Amino acid sequence: MSEPTYDAQGEGLPQVVPDPALPAAVTVYEVGPRDGLQNESALVPTQTKAEFVRRLAAAGLPVIESTSFVHPRWVPQLADAADLVDLLLTELGDRALDMPVLVPNDRGLDRALEKGVRHVAIFGSATESFARANLNRSLDEQFAMFEPVVSRARGNGLDVRAYVSMCFGDPWEGRVPIDQVVDVGRRLFDLGASQLSLGDTIGVGTSGHVTALLAAFHEAGLPVERLAVHFHDTYGQALANATAALRAGVTTFDASAGGLGGCPYAKSATGNLATEDLVWLLTGLGVEHGVDLDSLVETSTWMAGRLGRPSPSAVVRALGGNDAG
Exposed / middle / buried, residue 56 (Cβ in 10 Å: 0-12, 13-18, 19+): buried
- List the beta bridge partners of residue 199: 230
3-state secondary structure of 321: helix
Q: Residue 174 pairs with which residues in a beta bridge?
A: 170
Choose among 194, 124, 184: nearest CA to 159: 194
Is 263 among the residues known to form the active site?
A: yes
CA distance 176 to 178: 6
Active site residue: 101, 117, 238, 263, which one? 263
144 neighbors 104 (Cβ within 8 angstroms):
no
| 80-87 long-range contacts, CB within 8 A, separation 24+ | 80/46, 80/49, 81/111, 82/111, 82/114, 82/115, 83/46, 84/46, 84/49, 84/50, 84/53, 85/115, 85/117, 86/115, 87/46, 87/47, 87/50
Fill in the DSSP letter of residue 220: T
Three-state SS for 164? strand
C-alpha distances (whole Å) from 315 to each of 247, 270, 281, 297 are: 22, 17, 10, 8
C-alpha separations of 107 from 75, 89, 152, 195, 313 in Å: 15, 21, 12, 22, 35
CB-CB contact of 172 with 180 (8 Å)? no
Taking a C-beta distance cutoff of 8 angstroms, is the pair 143, 192 a contact? no
Cα dist. 130→17, 18, 136, 169 in Å?
A: 41, 40, 9, 11
Catalytic residues: 263
